[in-house]
Amino acid sequence: MSERNSLIAFFIAFLVGVTIGYFHYLKIKPTDEQKTQLQIDRVIRTELCDRLVSDIARFKEAPHSFKRTSLTVLMGESRESAKALLPDLPDSHPIQFHGNQESLFSECPTNARQWVKISAVFPEFYEQEKAFVESKKAQGLSLPGFFGGLPITQKSTERRVALVIGNSAYTARPLKNPVNDAKDIAQFLRNTGFTVTELLDADLAKMRAAVDRFSLDLSNNDVGLIYYSGHGIEYKGRNYFVPVNASIQDEQEIPRQAFDATEILEKVGRFKSGAMILIVDACRNSPIFSKFRSAKVGLETMAVPNGMIVAFSASPGQIAGDGNGRNSPYTAALIKEAQIPSRKIEDILKETRRAVSDETSGRQVPWYNSSLVGDFYFLKN
């Protein structure tokens, strides 16, 4: 076969591949919602990379006066920019990044990808960076690469561990948002230095095992956090989290088929050394539970051991909404308020309460009960 014929054969083979790709794409074509989300992801990615590059440039210009912007704040700003850059999107459409952390920085330059590996909570490491840059400048040497011989990652001074549970796939009355809530909360917690175990659509056995493992992990950590989103029910003064495989036909089956939240308090009550946070976005109304005479609407108050804060998405006797967007009103507000740096958790929960109460016209008023010793910040400048 001559060279010319070979090239023609290559071209035809390429076209055959394109044709197969076309027909296959028709089958796997993203829906309009998926296309919109891909567009949002792309814009957020680009905005975030630009901000990171600009942060690095500011550091190089003035290392003494440089103040690093935390990744969570940069994400918040990127999302705001994305809102402005996508004016065709309806206001109610949530602007959230849905890809994984790896893909978030995939289009950033190499130095920006290295930059984000330095957590914002390590001022002592930042001091090392400044000293390194100054010493190289004093020697008249050009920096070999932005981070030279410095380690890329550092461990946090405060060890944080979290268990995040989101149950959506109930057989009888599935919920739309708990899995989304859990994923978004997990991502936020990771960005603030937590080691997160994410449990989605969990049955009773998995929930028990996860809580057991979590309570063992607590002893090696300074801060523990459990977040639950899904159905919850109160029965005889105790609150229960409903696993996805529960098939509760009679109220007396509740203690057997649902997870008693008091177990969490008992297990973590032994955790003496640090702060423990329990956030519950439950009690979405379900007709399964409303038929029970003695099972009330809403969850009950919980006695809080020392060093702990418990936050609920609705006051006792109220129902928490699942929400029309990606997240429940409570979780959406919580993530938004928690991203503001240097805010104590109590202030975050107060602002969350205000936001949710305003949004639901007072029908859902979150509450919390705290016996924390000392202040806890998700993000601190």
Q: Does 272 interact with other proteins (rule: CB under 8 A)?
A: no
What x-and-dash track marks residues 92-131 binding other proteins by CB under 8 A?
A: -----------------xx---------------------
Separation CA 19–CA 239 (nearest Å): 58
- Cα four-point dihedral sign 25, 27, 32, 34: negative
Residues in the chain, overall count: 381
Near other proteins by CB under 8 A: residue from 29, 130, 137, 291: 29
- Kindly state the DSSP code that residue 369 receives in the 8-state scheme: E
Q: In the numeric block, which tokens belong to residue 231?
A: 């159905």
Q: What are phi and psi of 124, to 5 degrees?
A: -65, -30
Token pair 């989103």 is at which residue? 229
User: Smallest gap, in angstroms, from Cβ of residue 156 to other proteins?
Assistant: 27
Would you say 17 or 237 has its CB closer to other proteins?
17
What x-and-dash track marks residues 41-70 binding other proteins by CB under 8 A?
A: -x----------------------------
Q: Does 14 interact with other proteins (rule: CB under 8 A)?
A: yes
Separation CA 119–CA 113 (nearest Å): 12
| Residue type present at position 6 | S
Give the residue among 214, 205, 310 at the shortest CA–CA distance from 258. 205
Pick the stretch among 15-23, 92-100, 115-123, 307-315 that binds other proteins (CB under 8 A): 15-23
Would you say 38 or 205 has its CB closer to other proteins?
38
Separation CA 208–CA 255 (nearest Å): 13
Q: Does 151 interact with other proteins (rule: CB under 8 A)?
A: no
Q: Does 141 interact with other proteins (rule: CB under 8 A)?
A: no
Q: Does 153 interact with other proteins (rule: CB under 8 A)?
A: no
> Could you list the residues that contact other proteins (CB under 8 A)?
1, 3, 6-7, 9-10, 13-22, 24-25, 29-30, 38, 42, 109-110, 144-145
